[in-house]
Structure 1
Amino acid sequence: MSQYCTFTLDRHLFGVPVSSVQEVLRAQGLTRVPLAHEDIAGLLNLRGQIVTSLELRSRLGLEPRDEGAPSVNVVVKTPDGGVVSLVVDEIGDVLEPSRDSFETPPDTVPTTIRDLVTQVCKLDDHLMLLLDTERAVTPGGTS
């Protein structure tokens, strides 16, 4: 069985493999980047390493977070060995669902979200969307 780090965005529950998560941080001060793609929230200094912070709400086509609303940074590893911070609404639990609870995303999942989700997992009271972090960290397009 695999474990998934979960987080919420606009009442949607997402999961990423625990193995792809470097760390989870409370909201961090970001340095805005002029002329950057709208999905880029800014840059953060992570113990001397400059990390791109991606606004996942924008990337998934969701409504912007209310001004002053809390957020969390989920720092995930990228395929090229770097890291990217995903700005999410709230961190959840680490879940270990059974393999038979996964299936392909249904048509009821909005297209902008379905394009970045590999599978869905039926839980007792939620549907967990498994985020394709490789596609999600590619601003402005899918790989």
Structure 2
Amino acid sequence: MFARDNSEGKQFSTFRVGTLLLGIEVVTVQEVLRYQEMTVVPLAPYAVEGLINLRGQIVIALDMRKSLGLPRRPVGTRPMNVVIQSQDASVSLLVDDIGDVIETSAAVFGLPPDNLPANQKELVAGIYTLPHELLLILNTERLLLNACNPISQISA
């Protein structure tokens, strides 16, 4: 189940969604922002919370709780924005809290466990074992594909 990561090391920007510690490669992160007002888009896919005007650039905001099938954010709490650069445009991931940038060495890298719920497992590229918890590395390509796929919203 575990394989040795042969790279010299990668840096991951981390954040929390619910109790999960998630990470994406630092090179994909454009910026991190406090809550931004959003414009709701009628008939948008389930995970699309709205659109953000980021200094004249219109950015889709994806609710990571919806994407991962987690309960709604507690009333009165506002998400943070992790703006990532995809192939075509910038996308904001709405997360609960921002973590640190973590550098991994040629550490043990694991595949997602079989008991991870299916909707989460397909979005997790792998896992790094940290001293006190697991860091789930997101597959951002799959995340963006699922977020805009109407089929993925039927169960929502």
* TM score, norm. by length of structure 1: 0.94
State yes or no: 1:58 paired with 2:73: no
Residue 112 (structure 1) aligns with: 119
Larger Rg: 2
Provide the residue aligned with 1:94 in structure 2.
101
Q: Identify the residue that residue 53 of structure 2 maps to in structure 1.
A: 45
SS in structure 2 of the partner of residue 137 of structure 1: helix
Structure 1: gaps spanning 5 or more residues:
none
- Alpha-carbon distance in 2 for matches of 1:99, 1:117: 19
1:130 paired residue number: 137
Deviation by residue 1:114-141 (Cα, 9 ceiling, x = unmatched): 1101100100001000001111112154
Q: 2:90 is matched with which residue: 83, 89, 99?
A: 83
Rounded Cα–Cα distance in structure 2 between residues aligned with 1:102 and 1:109: 16
Output one character per residue of 1:79-109: Cα deviation in whole Å (capped at 9) or x when no partner: 23x1100000000000012233211011132
Other-structure match for 2:29: 21
Deviates more, 1:30-39 or 1:131-140: 131-140
5+ residue gaps, structure 2, are: 1-8
The answer as to whether partners of 1:44 and 1:53 remain within 8 angstroms in 2 is yes
Deviation by residue 1:18-61 (Cα, 9 ceiling, x = unmatched)? 00000000011000011111110000000000000001110111
Query: Following TM superposition, by how much is the alpha carbon of 1:68 offset from its aligned partner in structure 2, in angstroms?
Result: 1.7
Percent identity of equivalent pairs: 45
For residue 128 of structure 2, what is the aligned residue in structure 1?
Answer: 121
CA contact (8 A) 1:117 1:131 kept: yes
Residue type of the partner of 2:124? V
Runs of at least 4 residues of structure 1 off by over 4 A?
none
Q: Are 1:59 and 1:140, in contact at CA under 8 Å, matched by a contact in 2? A: no
Q: Distance in 2 between matches of 1:140 and 1:47?
A: 24
Work out the CA distance in 2 between the residues paired with 1:109 and 1:140: 22
CA contact (8 A) 1:61 1:112 kept: yes
State the alpha-carbon separation in 1 of the partners of residues 47 and 53 from structure 2. Answer: 18
